[in-house]
Amino acid sequence: MRETGKQRIIVVDDDRAMRELLRRQLVQAGYDVVAYDDGRAALQLIAGLGSGIILADWSMPGMDGLELCRAVRELEALQTLRSVYFILLTAHGSKDHVIEGLGAGANDYLTKPYHSGELLARIHVGARFLRLQDELLQRTLEYHKANAQLAVLTQKLEKLANTDALTGLANRRRLFARLGETWELSTRRNYPLSCIMLDLDRFKGINDTHGHDAGDRVLCDAAEIVRSAAARPELCARFGGEEFVVLCPGAPAGEAVVLAETIRQAVAAHVAVYNGTQVGVTISCGVAERTAGMADADALLRQADTALYAAKERGRNRTYVLGCDGATRAAECGEPVGNAAQDGAVAHGTATHQAASCSTRAASSASTTPTTATPGTFGD
């Protein structure tokens, strides 16, 4: 409503002499004045400006002052107009008229003949009112902008707090949160939930032979293979050191074995290149599925870790899956060691293992001593 720093006032009066008098006095007082003899023209201008002061007569042909005032308030309610300070200046001086005028939405009410000093004082009030509203709007916009920036920063911080800096996979903290969520859903809805624990074989040797930077390259390449293979990359995590975990909600152990084997074979076939040196690596995998007897999500991790331990014990670069009957048997994949049916191996998930071309073999609990699910268990 301001032009060249001056507050604009829209004067609306069908009396030409009154319009000119008001215009002269208000211009002398430093205001930018536009005068109309009709309420509709004034409404069109204020709609274009968005806010301002209107000084309007009540009785006019066409749209009178009261109708103009109501129309302005309706536009404000629709947020077409930001803010209008409306003063009725009329010959109607009864209390009933004042009440009706203010009831229509006028901010102020003056009667003709008016006192010029009083009129200017009341217009100053209106100008201050609009200025304060502008400041409030500005502060509100700044507040929303700061809030939006804070939300972006919070999102970035949250991502940093949940992401492994080297590989970009979820970190251990995020893994446990996801594990809790998937475990809760799985137990509540009785969906299968499997967990794959993967560990690069003899990783320390790579660091010792080629240096830690080459080791990091190998780790990142393996992480990318894990991420690419998984149906839900957000459920893959670097558990610690050279160890990864993939959660498979909705998948029985057999399906998780298929995924583990896909990853294992892809890692074995991949050659990382660092500074022109080719570095190959293999990975061992342990698979476990939630069973009704498991106490909590940590037990699932521990069982996957037990299966992984068995895979390491059996020579690495292979996948082991733990049976559902108490971690006493492991199904081995990755080397042709027999037929599941012939060996009478774990009934749970056997069909899927066969479909995945993974043979199974019973293994005693003694050879698959449970270990705690701690990163770097094997160190090899």
Active-site residues: which are they?
242
Which residue's CB is nearer to Mg ion, number 57 or number 243?
57
Give residues 308-337 in contact with Mg ion (rule: CB under 5 A): none
Residue among 43, 54, 57, 89 that touches Mg ion (CB under 5 A): 57
Segment lying near Mg ion (by CB under 5 A), choices 10-18, 168-176, 318-326, 336-344: 10-18
Residue among 28, 59, 140, 147 that touches Mg ion (CB under 5 A): 59
Which residue's CB is nearer to Mg ion, number 66 or number 222?
66
**Amino acid in position 192:** P
14 in contact with Mg ion (CB under 5 A): yes
Min dist. Cβ of residue 55 to Mg ion (A): 13
Which residue's CB is nearer to Mg ion, number 17 or number 366?
17
37 in contact with Mg ion (CB under 5 A): no
Which residue's CB is nearer to Mg ion, number 59 or number 364?
59
Which residue's CB is nearer to Mg ion, number 14 or number 224?
14
357 in contact with Mg ion (CB under 5 A): no
> Helices 212-229 and 203-210 meet at what angle, rounded to 10?
140
Min dist. Cβ of residue 42 to Mg ion (A): 13
Q: Which residues contact 104 (CB under 8 A, 6 or more apart)?
A: 66, 69, 70, 73
Buried b (16+ CB within 10 A) or exposed e, 357-367: ebbbbbbeeee
Min dist. Cβ of residue 116 to Mg ion (A): 19
β-strand pairing of 243-249 with 236-240: antiparallel
Site mask for Mg ion (CB under 5 A), range 95-134, x = bound? ----------------------------------------
Site mask for Mg ion (CB under 5 A), range 333-352, x = bound? --------------------
> Helices 172-189 and 116-162 meet at what angle, rounded to 10?
90
Min dist. Cβ of residue 2 to Mg ion (A): 28
Min dist. Cβ of residue 17 to Mg ion (A): 11
Which residue's CB is nearer to Mg ion, number 26 or number 307?
26
Min dist. Cβ of residue 56 to Mg ion (A): 10
Q: Which residues here bind Mg ion, judged by CB under 5 A?
A: 14, 57, 59-60
